[in-house]
Amino acid sequence: MKITISQASKHKEQTVTIGAWLANKRSSGKIAFLQLRDGTGFMQGVVVKSEVSEETFNLAKNLTQETSMYITGKIVEDTRSAFGYEIQVSEIEVIHEAADYPITPKEHGTEFLMDHRHLWLRSKKQHAVMKIRNEIIRSTYKFFNENDFVKIDPPILTGSSAEGTTELFHTKYFDEEAYLSQSGQLYMEAAAMAFGKVFSFGPTFRAEKSKTRRHLIEFWMIEPEMAFVNHEESLQIQENYVSYIAQSVLDNCKLELDVLERDTSKLELIKAPFPRISYDDAIELLKKKGFDDIEWGEDFGSPHETAIAEHFEKPVFITNYPAEIKAFYMKPDPERSDVVLCADLIAPEGYGEIIGGSQRIDDLELMKERYDQHGLNGPAYKWYMELRQYGSVPHSGFGLGLERTVAWLSGVDHVRETIPFPRLLNRLYP
């Protein structure tokens, strides 16, 4: 019977066939250990000289890394491995003998690995990170579906920018000018007025000249938007959502967290409610921590965010930033118009901002004013204004950056390892 490695536990003591690649091997005169992978998992194959034909044993000893094959043998328990099972090989049928494989079990430099990303993805660590990414996506759909959100897909080609005009990728749209979406938010606001609670999940693009551990040119965002929901209510949904995905990763990615040597005690702490600190208090905190030159009105850089996050064990919301440094659509605090009803969620351990969110302006006149201030009065915004003309309601939303969240929960240093084919400043290959 043909099975996958993920099904091994259901076939104890049975003889099965698995299509697999050779990840690594060790052998002596009498026994060969094959590290097999089939995409669903990793498992050891044991080839004992005295139990197979001479031809099979010689074949096993000479297999090259990444050779593809059908392996037949008996599944047995193996208490020494984290996976718990191995296959006692009786037959090997080579499908394709791999040429000299560039990525060996030895250390390689980052640029070399990035140039071989199409192959690097096969390695155990990269596999673990992608499985965690998949779990976050799976549990995201589950969370929002269970909470009555409707999945809505905003367009990727667009005529309107949500997050400022300096970081847009321009493209021709026949005779018109179009951009690749920076955020689906404006469309999600329209969707919330039609469906109440909505969420999107899709790629977004920013022509940012930033070369940091946290920035990708193409990244994926989850963007919920909710009618009749104010800023504080939105924060509660955010903390519940983030706690939910962290718990799902803890529950369903034990092997992967183990491969990545993630300190799971840190992840156990991710439970709602999360602390909140106002921008004003954050400035004071930074001054106490020795950041003497930060002034009220300035945006935080990653050293500031890290310093603030270090003050708390859990992710922390920094709330009510100055209106000046935030997007045009954020609703001013009714008690103090110099700050807006917004929050950034900062992850612990230096992973930075993973969510940006706010209550949106629902008043037509104020929105017009903010448009003019930002020089955004082009025809593409007509439809967005109309949302404030026909039954405008208080509404809030947020965007969670998937790759930063994967980096944080997996404990990997750089977002380039959290997306299958990263688009970075100066990298479009492979």
Contacting positions for ligand 4AD (CB under 6 A): 162-163, 183, 185, 206, 208, 215-216, 219, 221, 223, 353-357, 397-399, 401, 403-404, 415
How far apart are alpha carbons 140 and 137 in whole angstroms? 5
Which DSSP string do the residues of 237-252 spell out, in sequence order? HHHHHHHHHHHHHHHH
**Binding string, 25-54, against Mg ion, x = CB under 5 A?**
------------------------------
In the complex with Mg ion, the residue whose CB is nearer, 45 or 356, is 356
**Rule CB under 5 A: is residue 397 a binding residue for Mg ion?**
no
CB of 419 to ligand 4AD, least distance (A): 9
Taking the least distance from each CB to ligand 4AD, the nearer of 48 and 114 is 114
Nearest to 326 by CA among 292, 373, 382, 288: 373
CB of 202 to Mg ion, least distance (A): 17
Output 120 or 219, the one with its CB closest to ligand 4AD: 219
Q: How far is the CB of 388 from ligand 4AD (least distance, A)?
A: 17
CB 344, min distance to Mg ion, A: 6
What one-letter code names the amino acid at 210?
Answer: S
44 vs 234 by CB, closer to ligand 4AD: 234
In the complex with ligand 4AD, which residue's Cβ is closer, 78 or 208?
Answer: 208
**Contact of residue 215 among Mg ion, ligand 4AD, none (CB under 5-8 Å per partner type):** ligand 4AD
Stretch that binds Mg ion, among 96-104, 260-268, 349-357, 376-384 (CB under 5 A): 349-357
Contact assessment for residue 275 and residue 140, using Cβ atoms and an 8 Å cutoff: no
Partner interacting with residue 403 (select from Mg ion, ligand 4AD, none; CB below 5-8 Å by kind): ligand 4AD
Cβ 356 to Mg ion, closest distance in Å?
3
Distances 191 to 151, 153, 379 between C-alpha atoms, Å: 10, 9, 20
Task: Report in angstroms how near the CB of residue 101 gets to ligand 4AD at its nearest.
Answer: 31
- For 380, the token pair is 């593409």
State in angstroms the smallest separation of the CB of 354 from ligand 4AD: 5
Question: Sheet containing 342-347: which strands, arranged edge to edge?
Answer: 150-151, 197-205, 218-227, 395-401, 352-359, 342-347, 316-319, 276-278
Cα–Cα distances in angstroms (integers) from residue 336 to residues 4, 231, 428, in the given order: 60, 15, 45
CA 262 to chain centre: 16
Piece of the chain touching Mg ion by CB under 5 A; list 179-187, 212-220, 242-250, 350-358: 350-358
Tokens found for residue 273: 């409610």
Nearer to ligand 4AD, 22 or 345 (CB): 345
Of the candidates 28, 352, 36, 353, the one whose C-alpha atom is nearest the C-alpha of residue 342 is 353
Write the secondary structure of 135-176 as one string of H (helix), E (strand) and C (coil): HHHHHHHHHHHHCCCEECCCCCEECCCCCCCCCCCEEEECCE
By C-beta, is 285 or 424 nearer to ligand 4AD?
Answer: 424
Beta carbon of residue 164, minimum distance to ligand 4AD (angstroms, whole number):
9
Q: Does 352 bind Mg ion (CB under 5 A)?
A: no
Does residue 316 contact residue 277 with C-beta atoms inside 8 Å? yes
Q: State how far the Cα of 387 lies from the Cα of 192, in Å rounded to an integer.
A: 10
Asked if 356 touches Mg ion (CB under 5 A), the answer is: yes
| Pick from 31, 20, 35: nearest CA to 72 | 20
What is the longest distance spanned by two Cα atoms in the chain?
A: 85
Toward Mg ion, which CB reaches closer, 315 or 356? 356
Chain residues binding Mg ion by CB under 5 A are 356
